[in-house]
């Protein structure tokens, strides 16, 4: 089975711009979640989607949004970028079995200048 | 408030030596705790899951323990190798659904020759 795929791998944007990140989950996984990772802060939960519905949301401003498509692929959008948005953005999918682990992609490294 | 705290924040050890990473949790209700390993530039990968039914579990040179009384879990690495250099993150589900997760900030382990 192919793993979780995130594109692009690296991205450089300037303040005020917007960005869209993409995530393709493991085949058969309907849950996709997004995380922001910065040094010293660890993994910060952004949101989770299950069967195209947002199931849970973290404490991030409304500039951060996401969606999930019928094929379970997900996108995350950040509008009006700020310098503090520079981070590694990780996507993870998981199966429906009880206590199933998160399967992470290798992330998108976003740099805002 | 649900919390997962890890110690130490960082650790440097010589190749071949053993080490132990700690994770203290206060999540309610508690069901399980999972350890992830994150290599530099990659997404985290699940190492093992600990539940009430097993207080010790081994995965090669990695041994995880769980003490439900003290609400502590540890990850012991035996005969460390350079490839063990990574961040180790513990995660526990919390809240009304098992899909809500509380993350530790991780321990950054560096194994030097």
Residue A31 at interface with chain B, using a CB cutoff of 8 Å: yes
What pLDDT does B30 receive? Answer: 84
Residue B18 has pLDDT above 60, yes or no: yes
Residue B95 has pLDDT above 70, yes or no: no
* Inter-chain touch A99–B31, beta carbons under 8 Å: yes
Q: Which residues of B touch A56 (CB under 8 A)?
A: 97, 99-100
Cβ pair B75, B35 in contact under 8 A: yes
Low-confidence ranges of chain A (pLDDT < 70): none
What pLDDT does B96 receive? Answer: 55
What pLDDT does A110 receive? Answer: 98
What pLDDT does A18 receive? Answer: 98
* Selected residues 39-98 of chain B with any CB under 8 Å from a CB in chain A: 41-46, 49, 51, 89, 91, 93, 97-98
Neighbours of A93 (CB within 10 A): 25
- Mean pLDDT score across all residues of chain B: 92
Residue B31 has pLDDT above 90, yes or no: no
Please report, to the nearest 10 degrees, the dihedral formed by the alpha carbons of residues B73, B8, B103, A102 taken in order. Answer: -70
Mean pLDDT of B47-68: 92
Residue B99 at interface with chain A, using a CB cutoff of 8 Å: yes
Mean pLDDT of B49-59: 90
* Partner residue facing B89 (CB), from A31, A33, A43: A43
């Amino acid at each position: 089975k192919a793993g979780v795929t995130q594109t692009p791998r690296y991205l450089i944007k300037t303040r005020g711009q917007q960005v869209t990140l993409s995530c393709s989950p493991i085949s058969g996984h309907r849950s996709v979640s997004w995380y922001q990772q910065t040094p010293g802060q660890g993994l910060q939960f952004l949101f989770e989607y299950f069967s195209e519905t947002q199931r849970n949301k973290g404490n991030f401003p409304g500039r951060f949004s996401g969606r999930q498509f019928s094929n379970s692929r997900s996108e995350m959008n950040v509008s009006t970028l700020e310098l503090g948005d520079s981070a590694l953005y990780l996507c993870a999918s998981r199966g429906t079995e009880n206590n199933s682990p998160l399967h992470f992609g290798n992330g998108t490294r976003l740099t805002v200048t | 408030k649900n919390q997962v705290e890890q110690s130490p924040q960082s650790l440097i050890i010589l190749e071949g030596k053993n080490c132990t990473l700690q994770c203290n949790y206060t999540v309610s209700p508690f069901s399980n705790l999972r350890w992830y390993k994150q290599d530099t530039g990659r997404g985290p990968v699940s190492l093992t899951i600990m539940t009430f039914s097993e207080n010790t579990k081994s995965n090669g040179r990695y041994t995880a323990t769980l003490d439900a009384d003290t609400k502590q879990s540890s990850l012991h690495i035996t005969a460390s190798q350079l490839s063990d250099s990574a961040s180790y993150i513990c995660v526990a589900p919390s809240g009304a659904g098992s899909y809500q997760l509380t993350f530790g900030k991780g321990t950054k382990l560096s194994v030097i020759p």
